[in-house]
């Protein structure tokens, strides 16, 4: 068995919960009055000290205040709380307040429809939901579908309206009502107690099927912080500032924007959602030095006029992840940023929800020399490249990337079968991605073995779209694949459907367009069938009934070419 080690020296790992790690062990690494989080639009700041107080208060609010205010009983250690909100200053308070209270936090995509939210609510066994005021109708619709009357629904909702008071009905418990009344910190007396419990429950489809709850433990997060700290470039800037432009409900954003900058003492300027003009405006205003992106965001930087309108010369580092970043885009960015200072680097990272997430980071000094690579393994991780689940790939040849180390998830919630299919008994996690490693130990992701489609870095599980499409009265069979759109630097979901009675050639286009519209109210925006809908006679399948997706992908290339 060929096991690849990390070139880095081992990172010291502490066996403690993530909240203890940040609020106790690492807290005094930087001055308490230093800004930790800044709201881009209002300029309001949460200092490290504010964060400390507010999260202790939030924990008390969740454990004691919530029940007193008429919430659904008291919240206990291990209970699941959902966050359903776009990025906001409330996030670091709800998330870490939840951790301090010993709760497990499940993060929902803020563009989910009620049915998507319902899957996560039910599957995770959530007891309460923090909801942004603008998303309240989605949550109420979900509760209605679950046969909760309004009174029962209200007992499970916390309005995430901190710091402003949203002018909605007083009938709801608000975040504000849970703060300023008491303090709580679950591990005050026994700091290691929570380490092996689930801290985060993000959803991922893994290698196959529908979204599953990924059990990320406190230990996973605490272990990953020093691993990333060693590998992430240190720019030795006097005043580092990071732009919080990725969604916090995705593992990439929640870890790299709400956890990691805290141990580096980097303030994060929080954007509610990414917009290129706003991003340039905030880079100028807050003298942002670093930001995290997904490739389609990079692409906007190469041609959008806002980049010339604002002074973004403070920007020295961009980290791209969640989807492949090709050489042409890196080169186009270099041209675009040539005036941004000699030190500008656009590096690439790789990770998965199941690996908490980061496993590879490209050093800044290598971003041109090793363009296309995701860099070496982080410390404390081991890798294998495996062909067809059994044999090791020959040197320099591609194989499925298997990973082992302290940041691999505990498993999928209530799904021992999926867990056993993705983690071997000796701890190897199968990523479903195909990689090669060069003689210097730098990895490049070259293909994907699993079904997953990625639209602008967001997961689109084909199985989920297929089951929605099968509800269409005229569709009897379906397969969804991803097609590459170079112009947008992303994949697009494309459906092949079998019509109940068959269609005349001239009817097919109209039917395809109708299906694209039909799916819109049923799924989040990133799952729209932007790659099109094609009617075919039969879905190609193996003798065992498995969809032959590779065949469809080949077919799609020809359709695109013609």
Strands of 185-275 (E only): list them: 198-204, 212-217, 242-244, 268-270
For residues 387 to 426, the per-residue mask of contacts with ligand 4UV, x marking binding by CB under 6 A and - elsewhere, is ----------------------------------------
Q: What is the DSSP letter of 24?
A: I
Q: How far apart are CA 358 and CA 293, in angstroms?
A: 14
Which of residues 422 and 535 has its CB atom nearest to ligand 4UV in the complex? 422
Residues 157-196, interacting with ligand 4UV (CB under 6 A): none
Which of these segments, 35-43, 131-139, 430-438, 520-528, binds ligand 4UV (CB under 6 A)? 430-438
For residues 254 to 273, the per-residue mask of contacts with ligand 4UV, x marking binding by CB under 6 A and - elsewhere, is -xx-----------------
The least distance separating ligand 4UV from the CB of residue 253, rounded to whole angstroms, comes to: 9
Find, among 151, 155, 150, the residue nearest to 127 by Cα: 155
Which of residues 127 and 454 has its CB atom nearest to ligand 4UV in the complex? 454
Given candidates 357, 398, 482, 531, which one binds ligand 4UV under the rule CB under 6 A? 357
Q: Which residue is nearest to ligand 4UV (CB)?
A: 321
> CA-based diameter of the chain, in Å?
72
Contact between 448 and ligand 4UV by CB under 6 A: the answer reads yes
The least distance separating ligand 4UV from the CB of residue 297, rounded to whole angstroms, comes to: 13
Which of these segments, 322-330, 434-442, 508-516, 552-560, binds ligand 4UV (CB under 6 A)? 322-330
Here the tokens at position 450 are 């699993």
Is the bond preceding residue 163 a cis peptide, omega within 30 degrees? yes
Phi-psi region of 548 (alpha: psi -120 to 50; beta: other; left: phi over 0): beta
The least distance separating ligand 4UV from the CB of residue 55, rounded to whole angstroms, comes to: 23
Residues 102-161, interacting with ligand 4UV (CB under 6 A): none
Contact between 454 and ligand 4UV by CB under 6 A: the answer reads yes
The least distance separating ligand 4UV from the CB of residue 371, rounded to whole angstroms, comes to: 12
The least distance separating ligand 4UV from the CB of residue 459, rounded to whole angstroms, comes to: 5
Which of residues 349 and 405 has its CB atom nearest to ligand 4UV in the complex? 349
Which of residues 281 and 553 has its CB atom nearest to ligand 4UV in the complex? 553
Ramachandran angles phi, psi of 45, nearest 5°: -115, 140
Which of residues 289 and 431 has its CB atom nearest to ligand 4UV in the complex? 431
Q: How far apart are CA 7 and CA 23, in angstroms?
A: 30
Give the burial string for 131-168 (b: 16+ CB within 10 Å, else e): bbbebbebbbebbeeeeeeeeebbbbbbbbbbbeebee
**Residue pair 383/401 in contact by the 8 Å Cβ criterion:** yes
Given candidates 81, 317, 352, 539, which one binds ligand 4UV under the rule CB under 6 A? 352
The least distance separating ligand 4UV from the CB of residue 320, rounded to whole angstroms, comes to: 7
**Residue pair 337/311 in contact by the 8 Å Cβ criterion:** no
The least distance separating ligand 4UV from the CB of residue 202, rounded to whole angstroms, comes to: 8
Contact between 351 and ligand 4UV by CB under 6 A: the answer reads yes
Q: How far apart are CA 59 and CA 55, in angstroms?
A: 6
Contact between 349 and ligand 4UV by CB under 6 A: the answer reads yes
User: In the structure, how many helices (H) and strands (E) does the chain have?
Assistant: 19, 27
Residues 301-320, interacting with ligand 4UV (CB under 6 A): 319
Q: How far apart are CA 198 and CA 179, in angstroms?
A: 24
Given candidates 88, 353, 419, 490, which one binds ligand 4UV under the rule CB under 6 A? 353
Q: How many residues does the chain have?
A: 562
Three-state secondary structure along 396-434? CCCEEEEEECCCCCCEECCCHHHHHHHECCCCCEEEEEE
**Residue pair 440/373 in contact by the 8 Å Cβ criterion:** no
Which of residues 133 and 372 has its CB atom nearest to ligand 4UV in the complex? 372
**Which chain residues interact with ligand 4UV by CB under 6 A?**
204, 251-252, 255-256, 319, 321-324, 348-353, 357-358, 374, 431-433, 445, 448, 454, 457, 459
């Amino acid at each position: 068995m060929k096991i690849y080690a990390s070139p880095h020296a081992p990172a010291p790992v502490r066996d403690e919960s993530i909240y203890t790690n940040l609020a106790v062990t690492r807290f005094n690494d930087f001055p308490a009055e230093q800004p930790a989080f800044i709201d881009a639009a209002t300029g309001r700041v949460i200092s490290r000290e504010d964060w400390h107080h507010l999260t202790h208060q939030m924990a008390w609010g969740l454990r004691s205040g919530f029940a007193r205010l008429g919430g659904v009983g008291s919240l206990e250690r291990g209970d699941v709380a959902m966050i359903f909100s776009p990025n906001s200053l409330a996030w670091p308070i709800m998330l870490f307040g939840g951790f301090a209270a010993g709760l497990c936090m499940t993060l929902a995509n803020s563009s989910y429809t009620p049915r998507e939210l319902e899957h996560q609510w039910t599957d995770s066994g959530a007891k309460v939901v923090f909801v942004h005021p603008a998303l309240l109708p989605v949550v109420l619709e979900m509760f209605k579908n679950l046969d909760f009357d309004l009174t029962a629904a209200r007992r499970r909702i916390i309005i995430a309206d901190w710091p402003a008071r949203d002018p909605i009905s007083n009938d709801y418990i608000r975040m504000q009502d849970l703060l300023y009344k008491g303090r709580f910190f679950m591990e005050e007396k026994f700091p290691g107690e929570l380490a092996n419990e689930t801290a985060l429950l993000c959803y991922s489809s893994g290698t196959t099927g529908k979204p599953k709850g990924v059990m990320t433990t406190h230990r996973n997060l605490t272990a990953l912080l020093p691993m990333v700290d060693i590998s992430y470039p240190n720019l030795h800037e006097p005043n580092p500032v990071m732009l919080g432009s990725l969604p916090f409900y995705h593992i990439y954003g929640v870890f790299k924007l709400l956890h990691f900058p805290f141990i580096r003492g980097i303030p994060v300027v929080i954007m509610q959602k990414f917009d290129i003009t706003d991003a340039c405006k905030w880079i100028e205003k807050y003298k942002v030095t670093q930001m995290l992106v997904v490739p389609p965001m990079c692409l906007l930087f190469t041609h959008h006029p806002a980049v010339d309108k604002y002074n973004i010369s403070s920007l020295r580092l961009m980290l791209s992840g969640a989807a492949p970043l090709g050489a042409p885009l890196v080169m186009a960015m270099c041209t675009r940023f040539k005036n941004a200072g000699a030190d500008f680097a656009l590096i690439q990272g790789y990770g998965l929800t199941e690996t908490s997430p980061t496993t590879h980071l490209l050093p800044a000094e290598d971003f041109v020399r090793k363009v296309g690579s995701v860099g070496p393994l982080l410390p404390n991780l081991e890798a294998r490249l495996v062909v067809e689940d059994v044999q090791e790939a020959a040197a320099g040849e591609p194989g499925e990337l298997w990973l082992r180390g302290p940041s691999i998830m505990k498993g999928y919630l209530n799904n021992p079968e999926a867990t056993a299919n993705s983690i071997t008994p000796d701890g190897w996690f199968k990523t479903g991605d195909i990689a090669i490693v060069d003689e210097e130990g730098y990895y490049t992701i070259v293909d994907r073995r699993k079904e997953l489609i990625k639209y602008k870095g967001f997961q689109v599980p084909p199985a989920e779209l297929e089951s929605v499409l099968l509800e269409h009265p005229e569709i009897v069979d379906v397969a969804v694949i991803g097609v590459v759109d170079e112009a947008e630097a992303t994949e697009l979901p494309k459906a092949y459907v079998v019509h109940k009675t068959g269609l005349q050639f001239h009817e097919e286009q109209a039917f395809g367009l109708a299906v694209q519209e039909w799916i819109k109210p049923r799924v989040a925006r990133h799952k729209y069938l932007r790659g099109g809908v094609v009617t075919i006679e039969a879905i190609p399948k193996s003798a065992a009934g498995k969809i032959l997706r590779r065949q469809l992908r080949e077919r799609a290339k020809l359709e695109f070419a013609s």
